[in-house]
Amino acid sequence: MSTLASRFDTNPILRPSEVKPSRPDMKIECLLNPGAFRYQNRIGLLLRVAERPVQEDGWVSVPIVDPTSEGGLRIFRCRADDPKLDFSDARVFTYDGKQYLTTLSHLRLAWSTDGRHFVADDKPTLTGQNALQSFGLEDSRVAFIDGRYYLTYTEVSEAGVGVGMTSTADWMQFHHHGMIIPPHNKDCALFEERIDGHYYALHRPSGVGLGGNFIWTARSPDLLHWGDHRCIARTRRNAWDSGRVGAGASPIKTSAGWLAIYHGADDKPRYSLGLLLLDLKDPTKVIARSTKPIMEPEAAYELTGFFGNVVFTNGHVIDGDTVTVYYGASDEVICGATLSIQTLLATLA
């Protein structure tokens, strides 16, 4: 195993069976990709919890947010041998030419006093509520800016995949800002301080035809309105990040520049992590980029699971030189690893 990342010996730190489903008729299939933050001497994770009804033999069923149905959910159900069904990816399927997700995700808090043992809340924290969220909320980043936590996450629906934002000061009262970046876009990580008076974000539009799944920067006067978009990192042919790239959590401020941990997938797809070093005064300038991954699927729980060969992060906490990365492994369980910021920077020299 590569030596840059020290995986917790207690990994996985949270599994689907350790969290309570949002309703008795639902089963949690996967815990994925948590946002991470500190609050009042505790470390919080904002988990992505992916559920579906307990599957019956010969049938496929998925929940869809629908405020007009009882309990706010309707169940899409079809026979598994229906010729209109294409079920080749564990995460998505098409039925009669229309795309669906196999699970519905919500966001849920889990808390820890030592950063290693987490207990998840019994109830969801944020769930899909409207037509732009009918296929759920996913992969929240948590940024702490001017005394408030800003949550940027993926809102999924038939209308596409876009970036939603919610803010909170106390993790009890939440203010919803709506969709701040329209489809197709995800992986939005906010910088935690202003640069030359502007807020900055990394984000990931998806090109159709021309372009691809590349990392972009944008800036904003108010965190709501984004402009001056620039493409700063593309996929690289025949490399570990040839298929898609996307930002992780908020870039880490170092004396050498903003250190951004990002995910890259190859064409299989196999998801690994790498680094971008961005200019402190102008984060649209890339100073350096990893040639090799800093972390790739190697442990058993990263190789097999709901969707195997995945290490994916959008949450970390910093303590001096140590970054503790929380990550989703195989789209099924939550894990942690520590890395040294100076050692990471040395890999870019």
Determine how β-strand 322-329 pairs with β-strand 311-319: antiparallel
Q: Which residue has the tokens 């080749």?
A: 88
- The dihedrals phi and psi of 46, each to the nearest 5 degrees, come to -110, 100
Q: Rounded to an integer, what distance in angstroms lies between the CA atom of residue 109 and that of residue 36?
A: 10
- Mapped onto helix, strand or coil, the DSSP state of residue 115 is coil
Out of 26, 161, 181, 247, point to the residue binding ligand MAN (CB under 6 A): 161
Based on CB atoms, which residue is closest to ligand MAN, 92 or 231?
A: 92
Find the angle CA(71)-CA(76)-CA(80) to the nearest 5 degrees. Answer: 145
Based on CB atoms, which residue is closest to ligand MAN, 184 or 236?
A: 184
Based on CB atoms, which residue is closest to ligand MAN, 143 or 161?
A: 161
Q: Quick one: which of 324, 337, 250 has its CA closest to 297?
A: 337
Based on CB atoms, which residue is closest to ligand MAN, 138 or 192?
A: 138
101 contributes a contact to ligand MAN by CB under 6 A: yes
- Please give the full DSSP string across 123-155, using - where no structure is assigned: S-SB---SGGGTTBEEEEEEEEETTEEEEEEEE
What is the token pair recorded at 9? 């010996």
155 contributes a contact to ligand MAN by CB under 6 A: no
Based on CB atoms, which residue is closest to ligand MAN, 156 or 348?
A: 156
Out of 75, 78, 85, 92, point to the residue binding ligand MAN (CB under 6 A): 92
179 contributes a contact to ligand MAN by CB under 6 A: no
Q: How far is the CB of 105 from ligand MAN (least distance, A)?
A: 7
Q: Which stretch binds ligand MAN (CB under 6 A): 64-72, 142-150, 154-162, 233-241?
A: 154-162
Q: Quick one: which of 180, 248, 242 has its CA closest to 212?
A: 242
156 contributes a contact to ligand MAN by CB under 6 A: yes
Residue type, 263: H
Q: Rounded to an integer, what distance in angstroms lies between the CA atom of residue 272 and that of residue 309?
A: 8
Out of 133, 154, 157, 313, point to the residue binding ligand MAN (CB under 6 A): 154
Cβ burial, residue 167 (10 Å; 0-12/13-18/19+): middle
Based on CB atoms, which residue is closest to ligand MAN, 79 or 91?
A: 91
Q: How many CA atoms lie within 13 A of 226 on its CB side?
A: 22
What is the token pair recorded at 116? 């290693």
Show the binding pattern over residues 51-90: x = contacts ligand MAN (CB under 6 A), - = does not: ----------------------------------------
133 contributes a contact to ligand MAN by CB under 6 A: no
Based on CB atoms, which residue is closest to ligand MAN, 154 or 272?
A: 154
- Please give the full DSSP string across 31-65, using - where no structure is assigned: EEEEEEEEETTEEEEEEEEEEEEPPPTTEEEEEEE
Q: Does the N-terminal peptide bond of residue 269 adopt cis geometry, omega within 30 degrees of 0?
A: yes
Based on CB atoms, which residue is closest to ligand MAN, 118 or 306?
A: 306
Q: Which stretch binds ligand MAN (CB under 6 A): 14-22, 57-65, 153-161, 206-214?
A: 153-161
138 contributes a contact to ligand MAN by CB under 6 A: yes
91 contributes a contact to ligand MAN by CB under 6 A: yes
Report how many residues bind ligand MAN under the rule CB under 6 A.
Answer: 7
Residues in contact with ligand MAN by the rule CB under 6 A: 91-92, 101, 138, 154, 156, 161
